[in-house]
């Protein structure tokens, strides 16, 4: 597709003089790549609030492109999963003892998120600004809430990005990120699944208000008119640039020939914020040991200080078992003719491998392959996560890897982290330390089992080799059944971001099965136990509240811990934060646990918020759903 105004500035191919030991010491070779430069004019400017649509409704369920690329690749992946299950059969008797040495994380806030479900999978992503506004994206919708779940805006992304003028309206795989240094947001979304219509759309916010004005761009997703389309984006930031990676795949080819490599796009982010022509360098044909690298994952910054250069990690995601991880380091800006992409490898002390399908209460969930899904870097240590086979139980689990950027021995640490009884998939990871000497991490993950509906969990890593028990962020209430056949889409990734104003805590977007047998987003704030707080207005850390059953069609019971017997105030709001009723406002008769029940019969179906205050101080807000 050559219709866009783009200037190819230079083309070069380099061999990187790094001797490479591939899986289990079999191959010695070199890394290679090609580089081109482009310029992309701004397409439009749009105000997100102009697209506010709180009554957005489902037109039809539509399956987004599979991250493996095409039908032939999906068939190949099914074969790999079956082979993985043959080599590591399910062992139901295998379980794991509780991990009592490390305290599990605490759920600080929890509420229903994106409920405008137009397809599968959700492709949850999330970003948090300094005012703790939650920006949650799915296929193909964006929701903005405050930190208690009140809806501030609901937006159809296909309408918002229509201004870029693509030949089709087939958007999928949204990603959003908050720029800590520029106090802005960037969003990326794919469009089209054929070479003729493939493009990547960008939006750069003009302010720190995600509901305000954005600068819109679109770039060609089929650079060489080679029959490919752009799929599965991942993004990260440095102090001056945006980095985008995606896979170039061909829907008309076999799995052996249909993968054309992962591309790295290096973009001057200030051009985007200022509404100027984007200056962009593209790194393609990235190979190591004579094989193209797949699913190159950009490593995000751990804290609010953005780095000057960026690292990437990749692996052999289709292998039944493998112990090799590839480390890439891109130095130099997009306008630097001497910029380089250095490549090396790490041999992990424990292998990863293609996971089996995850069994839910009805049918199974697709766990895709063993690609690296997320990672962060701090002081030369990179922590990353991805799906994997649990070689002990035969269930799906997640792989947590640690590599060092200057490790002379070219080794790394890897752990397959499994649940005692559940299948796991699609982890995300964020730094949970409070100072640079701490290597703590919080990891989120999806769960399900033959007796447990799909939901979301979190786990804490103490930076010293120990993991906590899992804590449930959202319990599914129904199985997912959105497609014909027995395999349902799950993932394809998760949204997680460190809350920079409160070290040790993160915000995350989970998916869970709900009535109607569909996915829905659940948003939660999670923290390591040491920094446990209720909300920013309350100093009493012992206050806890639960609401059940939820969803409900008749009554909801609220349980609140009130150890000092403080005065109670209970308020009901609609989804937009408009007050509906003061349910209670008066003294507590007793200290301790208090149960309060109220009827929903007079309320129309929808989302509501219950807010409880002790002595006029906000304690916590819970989202409830009337069905």
Bridge partners, residue 298, by sequence: 312
Shortest CA distance to 175 belongs to which of 520, 443, 495? 495
Where do runs of H (alpha helix) occur along 95-230?
157-160
Look at residue 424 and tell me whether its pLDDT is greater than 60. Answer: yes
Predicted model pTM: 0.81
Do residues 206 and 214 make contact, with C-beta atoms less than 8 angstroms apart? yes
Shortest CA distance to 366 belongs to which of 431, 425, 282? 425
CA distance 157 to 138: 9
Bridge partners, residue 527, by sequence: 106, 505
Look at residue 180 and tell me whether its pLDDT is greater than 80. Answer: yes
Query: Which residue segments constitute the domains of the chain, with CATH numbers given?
Result: 11-50+63-531 (2.130.10.10), 545-626 (2.60.40.1930)
Strands 396-404 and 411-417 come out as antiparallel
pLDDT tens digits for range 449-497: 999 999 999 999 999 999 999 999 999 999 999 998 999 999 899 999 9
Look at residue 600 and tell me whether its pLDDT is greater than 90. Answer: no
Q: What's the rounded mean pLDDT across residues 571-591?
A: 79
What is the 3-state composition of the chain as percent helix, strand, coil, each rounded to the nearest 5? 5, 50, 45
Look at residue 441 and tell me whether its pLDDT is greater than 60. Answer: yes
Q: What is the pLDDT of residue 134?
A: 95
Q: What is the pLDDT of residue 47?
A: 97
Q: What is the pLDDT of residue 27?
A: 33
Look at residue 143 and tell me whether its pLDDT is greater than 90. Answer: yes
Do residues 370 and 315 make contact, with C-beta atoms less than 8 angstroms apart? yes
Q: What's the rounded mean pLDDT across residues 607-624?
A: 77
Q: What is the pLDDT of residue 206?
A: 98
Q: What is the pLDDT of residue 22?
A: 38
> Which of 29-33, 281-285, 319-323, 523-527 bottoms out in mean pLDDT, i.e. has the lowest?
29-33
pLDDT tens digits for range 209-260: 999 999 999 999 998 888 899 999 999 999 999 999 999 998 676 444 578 8
CA distance 75 to 77: 5
More confident call, 439 vs 573: 439
Q: What is the pLDDT of residue 328?
A: 97
Q: What is the pLDDT of residue 576?
A: 65
At 570, the pLDDT band (50, 70, 90 cuts) reads confident
At 533, the pLDDT band (50, 70, 90 cuts) reads very low
Q: What is the pLDDT of residue 256?
A: 46
Q: What is the pLDDT of residue 85?
A: 87
Q: What is the pLDDT of residue 66?
A: 59
For the chain, percent of residues with pLDDT exceeding 70? 87
**Cα–Cα distances in Å, from 70 out to 64, 190, 231, 258, 556?**
11, 16, 10, 8, 46
């Amino acid at each position: 597709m050559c219709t866009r105004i783009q200037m190819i500035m230079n083309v070069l191919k380099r061999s990187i003089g790094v001797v490479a030991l591939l899986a289990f010491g079999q191959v010695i070779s070199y890394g290679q790549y090609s580089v081109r430069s482009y310029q992309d004019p701004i397409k439009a400017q749009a105000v997100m609030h102009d697209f506010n649509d709180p009554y957005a409704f489902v037109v039809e369920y539509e399956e987004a492109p599979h991250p493996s690329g095409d039908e032939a690749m999906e068939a190949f992946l099914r074969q790999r999963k079956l082979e993985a299950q043959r080599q590591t059969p399910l062992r139901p008797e295998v379980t794991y003892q509780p991990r009592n040495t490390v305290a599990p994380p605490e759920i600080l806030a929890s509420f229903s998120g994106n409920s405008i479900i137009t397809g599968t999978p959700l492709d949850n992503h999330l970003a948090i600004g300094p005012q703790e506004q939650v920006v949650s994206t799915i296929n193909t919708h964006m929701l903005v809430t405050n930190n208690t779940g009140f809806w501030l805006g609901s937006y159809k992304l296909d309408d918002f990005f229509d201004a870029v003028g693509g030949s089709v309206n087939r958007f999928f795989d949204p990603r959003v990120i908050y720029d800590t240094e520029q106090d802005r947001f960037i969003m990326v979304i794919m469009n089209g699944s054929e070479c003729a219509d493939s493009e990547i759309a960008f939006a750069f916010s003009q302010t720190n208000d995600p509901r305000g004005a954005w600068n819109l761009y679109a770039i060609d997703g089929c650079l060489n008119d080679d029959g490919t389309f752009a799929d599965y984006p991942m993004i990260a930031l440095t102090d001056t640039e945006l980095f985008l990676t995606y896979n170039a795949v061909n829907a008309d080819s076999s799995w052996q020939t249909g993968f054309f490599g992962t591309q790295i796009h290096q973009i001057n982010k200030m051009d985007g914020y200022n509404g100027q022509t984007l200056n962009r360098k593209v790194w393609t044909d990235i190979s190591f040991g004579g094989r193209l690298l797949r699913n190159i994952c950009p490593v995000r910054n751990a804290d609010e200080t953005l780095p000057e250069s960026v690292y990437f990690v990749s692996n052999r995601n289709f292998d039944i078992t493998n112990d090799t991880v590839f480390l890439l380091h891109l130095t130099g800006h997009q306008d630097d003719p001497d910029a380089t992409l250095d490549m090396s490898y790490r041999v992990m002390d424990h292998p990863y491998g293609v996971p089996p399908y995850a069994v839910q209460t009805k049918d199974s969930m697709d766990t895709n392959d063993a690609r690296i899904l997320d990672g962060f870097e701090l002081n030369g240590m990179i922590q990353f996560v991805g799906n994997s086979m649990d070689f002990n139980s035969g269930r799906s689990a997640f792989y947590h890897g640690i590599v060092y950027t200057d490790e002379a021995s070219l080794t790394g640490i890897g752990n397959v982290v499994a649940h005692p009884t559940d299948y796991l998939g699609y982890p995300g990871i964020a730094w949970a330390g409070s100072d640079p000497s701490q290597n703590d991490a919080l990891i989120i993950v999806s769960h399900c089992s033959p007796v447990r509906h799909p939901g979301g969990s979190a786990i804490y890593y103490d930076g010293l080799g120990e993991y906590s028990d899992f804590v449930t962020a959202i319990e599914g209430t129904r199985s997912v059944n959105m497609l014909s056949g027995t395999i349902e889409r799950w993932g394809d990734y998760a949204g997680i971001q460190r809350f920079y104003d409160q070290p040790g805590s993160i915000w995350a977007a989970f998916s869970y099965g709900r009535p109607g047998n569909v996915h829905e987003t659940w948003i939660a704030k999670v923290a390591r136990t040491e920094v446990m707080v209720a909300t920013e207005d309350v100093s009493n850390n012992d206050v806890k509240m639960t609401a059940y059953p939820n969803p409900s069609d008749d009554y909801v019971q609220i349980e609140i811990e009130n150890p000092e017997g403080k005065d109670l105030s209970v308020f009901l709001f609609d989804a937009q934060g408009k007050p509906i009723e003061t349910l209670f406002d008066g003294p507590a008769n007793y200290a301790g646990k208090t149960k309060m029940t109220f009827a929903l019969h007079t309320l129309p179906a929808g989302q509501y918020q219950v807010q409880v205050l002790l002595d006029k101080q906000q304690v916590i807000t819970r989202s409830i759903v009337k069905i």
